[in-house]
Amino acid sequence: MSNKGRTLIRMGLLGLTCGIILCAGPASARFRQAQVTIGQGPSSVVCTNGPSFNLRATDGHISVPDGNSIYMWTFAEVGGPFQVPSPVLCVDEGATVTVNLTNELAEPVSIIFPGHVGVNTTGGTPGLFTAEAPPAGSVTYSFVASEPGTYLYESGTEPRKQIEMGLHGALIVRPSLGANYAYNDAATEFDPGREYLMLLHDIDHNLHQAVEWGEPYDYTTTRDYYWTINGRAFPDTLAPNSVAWLPAQPYSALLVVEPYDATTNPLPILLRYLNAGLQNHPFHLHGNYTRIIAQDGRLLRGSGSEDTSYQSFTQTIGSGQTYDVFMRWTDVDGWATQSTPIPVDIPDLTNLFFHNAMTTWSGEVPLGEQGDVPVGVTVHNICGEYYLIAHSHALNEIQNFDEGMGGMTTFLRVDPPGGCMPVP
């Protein structure tokens, strides 16, 4: 689906079928990012700051857009709510990270920190990969966050079960150069208001149901039915952070970019991909190539500091991998919302069915052009902003229990220069 026209058509169809949930995300995102700090955007990464963390392994339910709810396990903050995914742990390079884990589940749990050296454990009981917290018990992990970057943390206890159940999260180590850099390299400066978490996961709800009900599950028959970004399945991925109707899924996956401008908007947005799932996921954004600057917490540089970052359209995010990715949207057509709207083929109105006032269609939503909006159809487009799909290109994964579209899908929202201001 790299064809623009096809995507627009698809969005029109999507609008016809999705109704209020899809449309509430962009519509409520009325904001202007003037002076931003890290994480300030309504869909930017939300940090839980360390370097000491008190986590509890616990259980609860998430909701998926088809109305189902799924039993999950997670690492939640002690004193904080159940949430999926587990909190994004943010620390500064060089800090000694301490994670106290208490176990509210009925079986041993643990945390491993892939990519980190010399993780010390205190307490707990010996496990296959690391020390574990027994039921009602605890264990402490500590290590020095010696290298900046994006990392997973996840269960090291029966990982086939526990990681899928949700015992995983993201760990961000900020470089000493500054929090608006991805690494200790001046070329890794990013737009600090536009830093995004892209934590991928795949779910066979039959496992979750079996665990919830204490029934057996045959891992050799696994078949995934749900795919999530930041614990949400599309179209929930579009809603801002911490919306009331997703109480256990606080992290948005809506990507926002403004057209590149050497003077007024020179910095790329940063996407931090992590694949906590069991499957490898080929993922792409429509609208431009992305630049892969790092993998698994290591900046792509040659032994002589050569820049070995590379452009990629579809990037396969392997299981257990992380990628740090820069993205710019370059307006080669001199797009202006009113005077030179992005051209689009408007489908024949007579071919469309308008369900109710919440119906959206491609004549009015994301196209930078206001078409003939039928009477009674609510306009959701705020400022002529432009939406591009971003999704797993394993296309079976962009659905919720065999219903498309859904799953591992989100949007890249291109705002007019200066931000999204309502059209007068």
Q: Please say which residue, 9 or 119, places its beta carbon nearer to other proteins.
A: 119
**Least distance from Cu ion to the Cβ atom of residue 3, Å:** 8
Distances (CA, A) of 374 to 314, 345, 356: 37, 16, 11
Distances (CA, A) of 37 to 34, 93, 150, 240, 252: 10, 19, 19, 17, 17
Q: Please say which residue, 61 or 298, places its beta carbon nearer to other proteins.
A: 298
Q: Please say which residue, 1 or 349, places its beta carbon nearer to Cu ion.
A: 1
Give the nearest residue (CB) to Cu ion.
1
Nearest-10 Cα torsion for 102, 104, 110, 113: -70
Task: Decide which of Cu ion, other proteins, none touches 318; Cβ closer than 5 to 8 Å per partner kind.
Answer: other proteins
Q: Please say which residue, 322 or 410, places its beta carbon nearer to Cu ion.
A: 410
One-letter amino acid for residue 235 of the chain: P
Task: Decide which of Cu ion, other proteins, none touches 1; Cβ closer than 5 to 8 Å per partner kind.
Answer: Cu ion
Task: Decide which of other proteins, Cu ion, none touches 279; Cβ closer than 5 to 8 Å per partner kind.
Answer: other proteins
Q: Please say which residue, 61 or 161, places its beta carbon nearer to other proteins.
A: 161
Q: Please say which residue, 153 or 196, places its beta carbon nearer to Cu ion.
A: 196
Rounded-to-integer distance, Cα 29 and Cα 209, Å: 35
As a whole number of Å, the end-to-end CA separation of the chain is 33
CB 202 within 8 A of CB 227: yes
Task: Decide which of other proteins, Cu ion, none touches 118; Cβ closer than 5 to 8 Å per partner kind.
Answer: other proteins
Residues that bind Cu ion (CB under 5 A): 1-2
**Least distance from Cu ion to the Cβ atom of residue 1, Å:** 3
Task: Decide which of Cu ion, other proteins, none touches 149; Cβ closer than 5 to 8 Å per partner kind.
Answer: none
Residues that bind other proteins (CB under 8 A): 112, 114-119, 128-129, 156, 158-161, 163-164, 218-220, 278-280, 295-298, 300, 302-303, 306, 308, 316, 318-322
Task: DSSP for 194-263, please give it.
Answer: -EEEEEEEEE-HHHHHHHHHT----GGG----EEEETTB-BTGGGSPTT-TT-TT------EEE-B-BTT
Rounded-to-integer distance, Cα 389 and Cα 219, Å: 33
Q: Please say which residue, 53 or 153, places its beta carbon nearer to other proteins.
A: 153
- Residue 153 φ/ψ, nearest 5 degrees: -125, 145
**Least distance from other proteins to the Cβ atom of residue 275, Å:** 8
**Least distance from other proteins to the Cβ atom of residue 303, Å:** 7
Q: Is 169 helix (H, G, I), strand (E, B) or coil?
A: strand
One-letter amino acid for residue 249 of the chain: Q
**Least distance from other proteins to the Cβ atom of residue 255, Å:** 24
**Least distance from other proteins to the Cβ atom of residue 371, Å:** 44
